[in-house]
Amino acid sequence: MSRNNFTTLLWDVDNTLLDFDYSQRASLEQCLRSVGVVMTEEILADYAGINDRFWKRLERGEVTREELLPGRFVELFAHLGIQGVDPDVFHGQYEEGLGHIFRFRENALDLCRSLRGKVRQYLVTNGTVRVQRTKLGISGLDRIVDGVFISQEVGADKPQKAYFDYCLAHIPEKNRERILIVGDSLTSDMAGGKAAGIPVCWYNPKGLALPADVTVDYEIGRLDQVLEILG
């Protein structure tokens, strides 16, 4: 990894700094139990696939957030044969769980604390305002970083140009070569960062193969490897 004079980090939140998979499992299990359904690994995998497809469609502009949020549960209920459950109410309970159930990935909290005052740090997330504001407040992340950009508040989603234009207009650093985005999503974080003209760092703890048609500037398997990039 080459050293660069970065002054600003844009951190993705879910499955980068915070373990979204853990929160998703716990909240979904809790909500399904409330309607008399015992969650299995198969049900979790089905929901995770449905959820991922909906968010990818949002990134491509094929659905709105208002369609996505209850829509994934409409599809899940149809798949499982669940009847008589209001998807909007279920979604509200699910988001309540997501906001309060969390854990950090690796040493994310200590890492962000150690970088405070050395580089500016901002959180960039497509999560909903309700979930993210609650989760970031309880975790304390919002008091460590220099700012939070939630797509629902911005009015555009990663990887849209409008989202990154807004974020970059609201941070002090104007030299895009000195801003680094770190995230796990190739289609959201890496694609959006590339389109915005800023260096990108792919957080790839599972050691997945990088698709042949995708390029990244840096790749890390552990969060603390960001320190090597910063020098």
Residues 109 and 210 in one domain: yes
Is 152 contained in some domain? yes
2 in any annotated domain: no
pLDDT of 3 strictly over 70: no
Q: In the predicted model, what is the mean pLDDT of the chain? A: 94
One domain, residues 122 and 93: no
Strand extents, DSSP E, 159-211: 179-183, 200-203
Find tokens 């909500």 and name the residue: 31
- In this model, does residue 177 exceed pLDDT 90? yes
Average pLDDT over residues 27-54: 94
* Whether 130 and 117 share a structural domain: yes
Q: What percent of the chain has pLDDT over 90?
A: 90
| 183 CB burial (10 A radius; 0-12, 13-18, 19+) | buried
pTM of the predicted protein model: 0.89
Question: Looking at residue 6, what is its pLDDT?
Answer: 97
Query: 1 pLDDT exceeds 60?
Result: no
Average confidence (pLDDT) over 212-217 = 95
For every residue of 105-170, which 3-state class applies, written as one string? CCCHHHHHHHHECCEEEEEEECCCHHHHHHHHHHHCHHHCCCEEEEHHHHCCCCCCHHHHHHHHHC
Its domain, for residue 168, covers 8-18+105-230
**Predicted pLDDT of residue 2:** 42
In tens, the pLDDT along 100-110 reads 999 999 999 99
Residue 127 banded pLDDT, cuts 50, 70, 90: confident
Of 48, 72, 100, the one marking the end of a domain is 100
Q: How far apart are the first and last CA of the chain?
A: 10
Both 154 and 143 in one domain: the answer is yes
User: How far is Cα 31 from Cα 110, in angstroms, rounded to an integer?
Assistant: 32
Same domain, 218 and 111: yes
Residue 59: pLDDT band (50, 70, 90) is confident
Least confident of 1-5, 83-87, 91-95, 201-205: 1-5
Same domain, yes or no: 56 and 69: yes
Q: Which residues contact 130 (CB under 8 A, 6 or more apart)?
A: 95, 99
Residue 29 lies in a domain: yes
Dihedral-angle region of residue 202 (phi above 0 means left; psi in -120 to 50 means alpha; beta otherwise): beta
Query: 72, 50 in Cβ contact below 8 A?
Result: yes
- Whether 122 and 222 map to the same domain: the answer is yes
Residue after which a domain boundary falls, among 47, 78, 100: 100
**How many angstroms separate the CA atoms of 109 and 43, rounded?**
31
